[in-house]
Amino acid sequence: MSAIAVLEAGRFRSLVDFYATTMRTSVIVSFQYRVGQYFYMLGMVAEPVIYIVVWSSVARANGGSVDGITPEGFAAYYIVWMLVRNMNICFGAPYWEYRIREGQLSGQLLKPLHPLNYDLGWFAGMKVVVIVLWLPIALGLTLVFHPSLSPTVLDGVVFFFAIWGAYLLRTMIQSTFGMLCFWTTRGQAIFDLYMTTELLLSGRLVPLTLMPPWAQTLAAWLPFKYAFYYPIETLVGNLSTAALFRGLAIQALWILLCYGAFRVAWRAAIKRYSGVGG
């Protein structure tokens, strides 16, 4: 093995050790504040429950379904939605503004790894806690709303990779938008426009099949669908094997494209950086 190969292997092992340590620390810290974490998740139950109740009522008034989705189908969608929504929480674009304004970025730039690595590792550790805390909540909602959910083993395996892929994808998107903070100290209006677009075209508000045809076509050409709708559908949509793996491939492609966009934006943005804050 050449010296370069040995060096690269050592760097890879160091990076793996870094992520493992960061995630383990995040899990420990999150469980120390597990009551607060749990109440936070309980607070997020209200939104999907409202969606379930409203759409189930519409379905029953419409003869038992809306575009083929029954009340039990809506229950399944939004119960899984809750896990995907919590898994998708990441270091958002507005926090780059806070990080710059408060001077935190200056210290982070002195560390050996890119700040994005710390964000990814820390929030990834939190996801382990999220999954554990979601299980009893999902059980309770299942007993109340009786979701129609019968995934296969393959569906479950693809879903596992899809929710982690969704987390990576949304992190890349948010971080790329966060680079705008190097040009403006008030990017909230731009972030709000992005969040509105994501809300409407990702399946986060309603299943995309209930959207107008033009919105479904537009969503198919944007990455937001693969951060919300696709992971949910892998578990509740009875997708074919081809559709499952095609979705994973497209999701992976979007992750790479958004990561590339972030790298380009970062190189341009960091040239403009000057430390501010206390």
Q: Please write the tens of the pLDDT for every residue from 32-60.
A: 776 777 677 777 788 888 999 999 999 99
> What is the spatial distance between Cα 114 and Cα 2, in angstroms, rounded to a whole number?
27
Give pLDDT, residue 263: 94
pLDDT band at 278 (very low <50, low <70, confident <90, very high): very low
Give pLDDT, residue 238: 83
> What is the spatial distance between Cα 140 and Cα 209, in angstroms, rounded to a whole number?
27
Output the pTM of the full model.
Answer: 0.89
Q: Which residues pair with 69 in a beta bridge?
A: 66
Helix, strand, coil percent values for the chain (each to nearest 5): 75, 0, 20
Give pLDDT, residue 74: 93
224 and 201 Cβ atoms separated by less than 8 Å: yes
What is the domain partition of the chain in residue ranges? 18-270
Residue scoring higher pLDDT (193 or 186) = 193
Task: For residue range 99-127, list pLDDT tens digits in order.
Answer: 888 888 888 888 888 899 999 999 998 88
Among all chains, which residue has been given the structure tokens 């497209």? Answer: 250
> What is the spatial distance between Cα 117 and Cα 23, in angstroms, rounded to a whole number?
11
- Is 170's pLDDT higher than 90? yes
> What is the spatial distance between Cα 227 and Cα 124, in angstroms, rounded to a whole number?
15
Task: For residue range 199-255, list pLDDT tens digits in order.
Answer: 899 998 899 999 999 999 999 999 999 999 999 999 998 889 999 999 999 999 999
158: number of Cβ within 10 Å = 24
pLDDT band at 6 (very low <50, low <70, confident <90, very high): low
Distances in Å between the alpha carbon of 241 and those of 43, 163, 246, 247? 35, 17, 8, 10
- Is 164's pLDDT higher than 90? yes
pLDDT band at 15 (very low <50, low <70, confident <90, very high): confident
pLDDT band at 8 (very low <50, low <70, confident <90, very high): low
